[in-house]
Copies of this chain bind each other. A is one copy, B any other.
């Protein structure tokens, strides 16, 4: 906790979760009893810790729920009803659905159900604000890393950095946000334009030519400035200062159902998506040594310590412990937090090189991929 808020707005959860299998032919596993998955997650709250606290207590339960087989479902690949009269096979042209994509779908829907629960209970449970969510699920030899927001996950394998997530910000999601605003202009409440310009346009520039980007463009081109272009742009600012509707710097996450543009009745939520991007890493495809790890961190870490520096700290700290010492991963996580925080001086938090340290809450998981113990 950086001291900017009384309660830590970063929250975390780490669990081994048992999924009880309901009798059905199409669960994640054919076993009737059930199965386990391992789970780690970070929640970076904003405008209060409420949403982050609730998500840290419940998201894994929603994943558990989504992962147990649905009763009364129609088998999608096996024919176990009567055969119809027509000559073509009943399930002609059926698409094969992999086990992996069922797990991904279950995680995606669990995020949605979590978001719905926050919406339902936000008044009674006092849950203002929202949170970014980053979760890693280990199941049957694979890591599923689900990210909604600006936290980040990387794997460090034999010194190599493998990104396991990408950040969702007004800049990275520009085209999705512009597309939505173009198709549903009423969501902008006459205050914003969905077009992007390199800077605010001044009224006296009406009729002149200006560079712009629309939702279907990656490059910039010229247009004649019209009245509508004088509105505030949907996306404005660069890097950490980029904001959607001048309000929020992340474009995915849980909660924020009451968030509006300042002194207006324009809701942010239709643009904020609760759906994560899920990346899969197949542990069985590679040999892993005890120094290979998956690192999850909130933006408090990544804002001041880049991927390469994190990999450096991981290697440096792990080297100073015996390979079979289970504490070594905890020590890496602590060292990453301490180095990114720095020391409180007169001019704020400072790093060893006197650069500005992170003024944000910082949370880190360091998960061994080839260390002592295993997840089965």
Contacts and interface: CB of A to CB of B under 8 A. Distances in A.
A73 interface: yes
A219 to B, nearest CB: 3
A213 B103 CA distance: 13
Interface of A: 66, 70-74, 76-77, 84, 91-97, 100-109, 176, 179-180, 183-184, 198-200, 202, 205, 208-211, 213, 216-222, 225, 236-238, 273, 275, 277-278
Contacts of A275: 216-217
Each complex incorporates copies of this chain amounting to 2
Contacts of A66: 221
Given A93-B238, A97-B198, A108 B73 contact: no
Given A106-B219, A108-B218, A218-B101, A199 B238 contact: no
17 contacts: A66-B221, A94-B198, A95-B198, A97-B211, A101-B220, A104-B220, A105-B213, A105-B217, A106-B219, A107-B219, A108-B219, A109-B217, A179-B179, A183-B184, A216-B275, A217-B275, A218-B277
Given A93-B238, A275-B216, A222 B101 contact: no
A74 B217 contact: no
Q: Top 5 closest A-B pairs, CB basis?
A: A104-B219, A105-B219, A73-B209, A105-B221, A94-B199
